[in-house]
Amino acid sequence: MRNRFTSTQKREKTVVIIAFLAIPFLLLALFSFYPAAKLVQISFTNWSGLGAMEFIGLKNYQELLRNGELLQVLFNVSAYIVVMLIQVFLALVLAIILNQSSIKGRNFFRSWTFLPYMLNGVAVAFMFSIMYDYQRGPLNVLLRLIGLEQCAIQWISGSYMTNYSLGLIAMWRYTGLNMVIFLGALQSISNMYYEAANLDGASFIQKVRYITLPSIQTTFEILLLLGFNGALQAYFEPFVITKGGPGGITDTFITKSLKYAFDFQNFGLASALAVMLVLLILLVMGVCKGILLRKGRQSA
């Protein structure tokens, strides 16, 4: 009798577990797996958004590789990657500084550094579009007032450097978030190590090099991985401020996909570019994971 009750209880527990897992799995299949499969399917067609889909094989991918626009997009996105690396380093420096108990008003500075992340991305892009205006931008207006008009900055132009101007917006917005994550990692380090270092007469730089950085290495690597992912998917800044122009000099993967889909009604080409973005992200994640695993084996 007792064995029968135990088996019934196990069966009911299994049913409950399956029921709880089935709902999120169905939602994941409906809103993630199915759209992804549909995206891949459309990438092999020349679908215009209406009517039937005509299968054309790998022609969309060949077109992307042949016309050079994929290389242009990769070149544009590289500016965001460079700015992202600076952003992560700056966040680490701010976190180390604001983690010191001797800093007065450190909670105030933490809050104000984190505040930009809480703002809406489109609103931030509109705000910077005003700041970057050559005639009405606050910095250029100030330079003209003090007689330095020749030093006025052309933030948005037809050159590749415009991508760095757009990347600075993301740096201003996300540095605070990275700083808070670094702070969490720093505060998990035991003070025992720093006290022992003080007894040995270690300097501030030595404590950072031999205690702080090794202790937060995993957090640093994760933020780099997330940063690469975000840089490859840059969207708000070029879409709101430049629309990818002039002449595609500020196009990213997403803005270019939107142009293919809605300006040229070529959803097949847009889907192919989106698939290549996904593959590139998976490649970056795979490389980063391989590096992390290799370092983990070496440290073990």
Distance CA 98, CA 9 (A): 53
- Mean pLDDT of the 194-201 span: 87
The confidence score (pLDDT) of residue 250 equals: 92
Give the tens place of pLDDT for each residue, 76-102.
Answer: 999 999 999 999 999 999 999 898 877
Distance CA 203, CA 241 (A): 46
Least confident of 108-122, 252-266, 285-299: 285-299
DSSP bridge partners of 55: 45
Distance CA 236, CA 254 (A): 10
CA separation (Å) from 190 to 81, 97, 193, 196, 219? 33, 17, 6, 11, 16
Residues of the chain with pLDDT > 70: what percent?
95
- Mean pLDDT of the 23-51 span: 89
The confidence score (pLDDT) of residue 4 equals: 60
Question: Per-residue pLDDT for 5 more than 70?
Answer: no
Can you list the domains of the chain with their CATH numbers? 38-121+159-299 (1.10.3720.10)
**CB-based contact 99:183 (threshold 8 Å):** yes
Distance CA 100, CA 96 (A): 7
- Residue 179: closest CA among 110, 231, 115, 125: 110
Give the tens place of pLDDT for each residue, 122-138.
Answer: 899 999 999 999 888 88
DSSP 202: -
Chain centre to alpha carbon of residue 247: 25
The confidence score (pLDDT) of residue 182 equals: 94
**CB-based contact 168:83 (threshold 8 Å):** yes
Distance CA 165, CA 77 (A): 12
Give the tens place of pLDDT for each residue, 212-247.
Answer: 888 888 888 889 888 998 999 998 889 989 988 888
Alpha helix ranges (H) inside 99-216: 106-118, 121-131, 138-145, 162-186, 191-199, 204-207, 213-215
